Amino acid sequence: MTALNKTILLLMVSNVFMLTAWYLHLKQFTLKPLWFVIGISWLIAFVEYLFHIPANRIGFQVMSLAQLQILQIGMSLLLFIPFTIFVMDRPPRLDYVWAGLCLLGAAFFIFRDGIT
């Protein structure tokens, strides 16, 4: 498996845990005390870091810091949309499409040295 593929896989797993730590409590733990929700979120975030830190180390071997960050943001949005629709039960919005197109533009400009 290439360094890029490892980075993408690790970032995807990391993002799933990140979204869970940041947002799932808004649906699942609304009646729990804040200290409980913070503790659970920190435990989930710890697992997220177990994937995110190696992803950054591996990815930085083959990408610039800017490329690594744009990849992370793009994946975050890519996973945020289905999370929002299917887990949080929010309707899809056209704004998701526009945001995705903006990120595609950002990715083009960050990665274009490797394209041209």
Instruction: Please state, for a pLDDT cut of 90, what percent of the chain lies above it.
Output: 54
Residues 6+ apart with CB under 8 A from 83: 19, 23
- Write the single-letter amino acid at 28: Q
Per-residue pLDDT, 114: 64
Domain count, the chain: 1
DSSP states of 1-32: --HHHHHHHHHHHHHHHHHHHHHTHHHH-TTS
Per-residue pLDDT, 77: 82
Q: Domain residues for 25?
A: 3-115
Q: pLDDT per residue over 1-48, tens digit each?
A: 899 999 999 999 999 999 999 998 998 898 999 999 999 999 999 999
Q: Give the DSSP H or E segment for 69.
A: helix 65-82
Write down the pTM of the prediction. 0.82
Residues 6+ apart with CB under 8 A from 100: 77, 78, 81
Mean pLDDT of the chain: 90
